[in-house]
Amino acid sequence: MIENLNKENEEQLIINIKNEVEKLNIDAIVLQTTREEIKVDKIGESDAVYGKIVNIESYKSKVDYLEFVRSLSISTKIPLLFSVKIFNALSNDFKENTLAKNPAQTLKEIKEIIRKHLVNLLKSKVRYDGIENSVLPNVFKTENGETYLDTGSVGKFQKDIEQDFSLKTKWVFENVIEYDSNFEIEIIEKDAEMDEIEIFGKLPKLKIKTPLGEYNPDFCYAIKGNNGNKIFLIVESKGYETSTAIPENEKGKMAFAEKYFQALNDFYRNENVKISFKERISSTQLASLINN
């Protein structure tokens, strides 16, 4: 991918990475000297030996730049030459001070920055075509005239519905709940009743292809539309307090999934069908997703 960039785009990518890297706040490695003394009158007791900090100083490492660049190339899977170009773009002050404070942490932080920019680059290049005739698998089974849902058909876990909840009449799986996490259980059982929702359920495993691996969103809500319109809200639920707490790899997959559902929405636009993909973290109310 990087090899296919023209000179102007490559230079801009390097500048963007450099600018973000040089804003990093790296924790220094601290050396602490402690002197231990023995209390003669306490010999034989648990507090006979006590330590006293006598000196604290920051430590700067001597960094092997070549090895650092190699490690950056290997860990991010970018060409060595591109890794060198990024390193050469960094200021001497950053290399001699920030990097030397803590090379291991700096490497980790730079790796995440590069990865984020590469994902953004991929997002601008990836397209989802040929999605017509895509259908969800039938997860229901019938045996002796009884229809049921096998455990693991749509979620990792399954439990019987033992009591009513606000949206029970609109839950697609009548007698059981399939789920992947406690947060999903909370969503299913504790969300308030909303007239706008016609039916909802946990999605079968779609296995949407992304450059970062396969992706499976969590829920689909069929929403009442106007003038015969059909509205489907696809929701990815994350039990994090903020979006920034979501791991970068997950955020990357979600970004590609958003492109997938946008392509699906475009395909069905002339059939009065609207498809929307949204993220839901722990503090997000369902009503805000539907009304927006």
Contact 238, 184 (CB under 8 A): no
Q: Which helix (H) or strand (E) holds 55?
A: strand 49-59
Contact 236, 278 (CB under 8 A): yes
Residues of the chain with pLDDT under 70: 29-34, 38-42, 44, 48-59, 130-148
Contact 192, 166 (CB under 8 A): yes
CA distance 94 to 17: 14
CA distance 82 to 63: 19
Question: Which amino acid appears at position 94 of this protein?
Answer: F
Burial environment of residue 203 by CB neighbours within 10 A (0 to 12, 13 to 18, 19 or more): middle
Dihedral pair phi/psi, residue 250, rounded to 5°: -65, -40
Q: What is the pLDDT of residue 64?
A: 94
CA distance 112 to 118: 10
Rg of the chain taking only CA atoms, in angstroms: 27
Residues 106, 108, 114: CA angle, nearest 5 degrees: 100
Question: Between 103-125 and 248-267, two packed helices, what is the crossing angle to 10 degrees?
Answer: 10
Closest residue by Cα to residue 1 from 88, 76, 93, 86: 76
Contacts of 283 (CB under 8 A, 6+ apart): 241
pTM of the full predicted structure? Answer: 0.70
Dihedral pair phi/psi, residue 128, rounded to 5°: -110, 105
Q: What is the pLDDT of residue 194?
A: 92
Closest residue by Cα to residue 250 from 130, 147, 119: 119
Residues 103, 88, 84: CA angle, nearest 5 degrees: 80
